[in-house]
Amino acid sequence: MITLTDRSRSARSGSILVVAICTTAIIGAALLSYIQLSSNQHRMAVRSQVWNACIPIAEAGIEEALTHCTRNFLTNLATSGWELQGNHYVKENKVGTGEYRVTISQTKPFEINSVGTLPLSGGRQGISRKVRVTTENRGVFSGAMVLKSFVDLNGNTILTDSYDSRDDKKSTDQRYDRKKAGDKGDIACTTGIRNSTVKVGNANIWGKLFTGATAIPTCGANGAVGSVAWQRAENKGIEPGWARSDFNVSFPDVTPPFADGSGFAPDPGEPLRNMKYEINGDWSGKIRVTGNAIVYVHGDIKFGSTDSLEIASGASLKVYCAGASAVFTSIVNSNVVATNLVFYGLPSNTSVEFKGSGSKVTGGIYAPAANIVLNGGAELFGAIVANSCTMNGNAEVHYDEALKFELPIAGFMVTRWDEL
């Protein structure tokens, strides 16, 4: 016989079972949601890591393309695994578990596109990111002075600024015009600016100052570094944003212009014409250039007070010096473009000096192992690339932007970077 008490007890037991089932279901659903959330977070974290890692893969392709352009743009880009497909040179390569596909346009300025791809776990489709850069083939003459070590601003009113002999807005009759001076007269050196008491001293640098990471540039009471507007307003000190401490660039060694013994000895008293000349000893005298001449000097260059170098209008001269020392006194370049006179110092050339009060030289100097000295109010209309440079007196360097693409090149540089 079932009593009322038994029925009540059965009802309570059923309610407890229902509550237990419902509670278990809720806990299970919550646990499943947590596991699903954790799984999604893990997948998103992995995807994010792979997403971020794709850019270095793509940039590896950019670096390979830049190196390839620098080494082979003068000959044939369809080498070293690169194939011409349509209007682009194409190469694919693997980096770890990832890969990139990079293309270079056929025409200059070269446009480089690189797609970096990395796989996802579990057989899922991989992730790709694409980077596009535009490039510029820059020569080593990228500023008024580019130096391996330091520049010693030892004068009172030292000046660097710029002009462009190809542009009437930046020059007058292709010549430097102080009223049109620009602010591309950059000074770059891997260590810093050296002076006995201050860093920049009283120099006026119409341009930017690039140094190595350990240098802390400062100005003297009358020194200034900055833009045209900063200089014309007669501001002192360093304009904000016009000094950087991350300078790092390569300096390609100069190689002989031709094989030893294959040049011609110049005829005494005769001008230099359209020929390759070879000087086996030291070089000096009254030199006149009437053609497009190349002179390879195995010894020192020793121009004295009675010696001179004259380059006629329409002529050009490239001097390669293997001797330890090169001293110039009187130089007359009848041409207005700095590319008509370029001095190249081989690795054995460690000293280049320009003597003579008020001497004015139009030309470029590329001597990465040499210490350059500009004395007594000397003016250089061109550019200097060297180990170091000392400027005495009232020396000035006016950077001619026409030298920007003069050989040797520093390599292809990125002028714009975009992710597509």
Q: Quick check: bond before 119 cis, omega within 30?
A: no
Average pLDDT for 389-409: 79
Instruction: Answer yes or no: is 293 within a domain.
Output: yes
pLDDT of amino acid 31: 76
208 and 96 within one domain: no
Asked whether residue 417 is assigned to any structural domain, the reply reads no
Question: Is 130 among the domain residues?
Answer: yes
pLDDT by residue (tens digit) across 345-361?
999 999 998 876 557 88
Q: Is residue 183 located within the same domain as residue 275?
A: yes
Which of 53-57, 89-93, 249-253 is most confident? 89-93
Same-domain pairing of 105 and 152: no
Same-domain check for residues 322 and 385: yes
As a whole number of angstroms, the distance between CA 19 and CA 36 comes to 25
At residue 198 the predicted structure's pLDDT band, cuts being 50, 70 and 90, is very low
Question: In terms of domains, do 133 and 169 share one?
Answer: no
Q: What is the pLDDT of residue 407?
A: 61
Q: How far is residue 263's CA from residue 261's CA, in Å, rounded to a whole number?
A: 6
Please give the Cα distance from 69 to 88 (Å, whole number): 13
Domain boundary among 74, 108, 139: 139
C-alpha torsion angle, residues 374, 375, 380, 385 (rounded to 10): 0
| Spatial separation of the C-alpha atoms in residues 318 and 257, rounded to whole Å | 9
Please report whether residue 414 resides in a domain: no
Tokens of residue 304, six digits? 């004295």
Residue 195 is predicted with a pLDDT of 43
Per-residue pLDDT averaged across 68-94, rounded?
85
Give the range among 69-78, 81-90, 164-173, 371-380 with minimum mean pLDDT: 69-78
Contact 145, 159 (CB under 8 A): no
**What pTM value is reported for the model?**
0.70
Q: Please tell me which residue, 245 or 264, carries the higher pLDDT value.
A: 264
Give the tokens for residue 9: 């007890």
* pLDDT, average across residues 317-325: 95
CB-based contact 309:303 (threshold 8 Å): yes
Mean pLDDT for the stretch of residues 300-308 = 91
Question: Cα angle vertex 237, ends 231, 240, to 5°?
Answer: 85
Higher pLDDT, 160 or 154: 160
**Residue where one domain finishes, among candidates 109, 139, 169:** 139
Q: Of the given ranges (43-47, 145-149, 341-345), which has the lowest mean pLDDT? A: 43-47
pLDDT value at residue 12:
58
Contact between 93 and 100 under an 8 Å Cβ cutoff? The reply is: yes
Whether residue 388 is contained in a domain is answered as yes
Q: Do 319 and 186 fall into the same domain?
A: yes
| Average pLDDT taken over every residue of the chain | 83
Shared domain for 159 and 124, answered yes or no, is: no
196 and 331 share a domain? yes
Where does the pLDDT of residue 114 fall: very low under 50, low under 70, confident under 90, or very high at 90 and above?
Answer: very high
pLDDT band at 11 (very low <50, low <70, confident <90, very high): low
Q: Supply the pLDDT for residue 137.
A: 74
Q: What is the mean pLDDT of residues 35-56?
A: 74
Backbone phi and psi for residue 334, each to the nearest 5 degrees, phi listed first: -70, -5
416 within a domain of the structure (yes/no): no
Same domain for 263 and 378? yes
The confidence band for 200, taking pLDDT boundaries of 50, 70 and 90, is low
Which of 91, 108, 139 is at the close of a domain?
A: 139
- Residue 301's DSSP bridge partners are 283, 326
Given a contact cutoff of 8 angstroms between Cβ atoms, the answer to whether 68 and 88 are in contact is no
Q: Return left, alpha or beta for 237; rule: phi > 0 is left, psi -120 to 50 is alpha, else beta.
A: left
pLDDT of residue 293: 95
Read off the amino acid at residue 58: A
Domain of residue 330, residue span = 145-409
| Confidence (pLDDT) at 196 | 34
Is 49 within a domain?
Answer: yes
**Pick from 143, 246, 243: which is nearest to 200 by CA?**
243
When pLDDT is cut at 50, 70 and 90, the band that residue 373 belongs to is confident
Q: Examine the domain organization and report whether 113 and 194 are in the same domain.
A: no
Q: Do the beta carbons of residue 420 and residue 129 sit within 8 Å?
A: no
Whole-number Å distance between alpha carbons of 375 and 394: 8
267-286 burial: b if 16+ Cβ within 10 Å, else e: eeeeebeeeebbbeeebbee
- Kindly state the greatest CA–CA separation across the chain: 144
What pLDDT score was predicted for residue 199?
47
Note whether 112 and 236 are same-domain residues: no
- 1 located within any domain: no
Residues 192, 89: one domain? no
Residue range 381-408: average pLDDT? 83
How many domains are contained in the chain? Answer: 2
SS in 3 state form for the chain? Answer: CCCHHHHHHHHHHHHHHHHHHHHHHHHHHHHHHHHHHHHHHHHHHHHHHHHHHHHHHHHHHHHHHHHHHHHHCCCCCCCCCCEEECCEEEEEEEECCEEEEEEEECCCCCEEEEEEEECCHHHCCCEEEEEEEEEEEEECCCCCEEECCEEEECCCCCEEEEECCCCCCCCECCECCHHHCECCCCEEECCEEECCCCCCCCCEEECCEECCCCCCCCCCCCCEEECHHHHHCCCCEECCCCEECCCCCCCCCCCCCCCCCCCECCCCCCCECCCEEEECCCECCEEEECCEEEEEECCCEECCCCCEEEECCCCEEEEEECCCEEEECEEEECCCCHHHEEEEECCCCCEEEECCCCCEEEEEEEEEEEEEEECCCCEEEEEEEEEEEEECCCCEEEEEHHHHHCCCEEEEEEEEEEEC
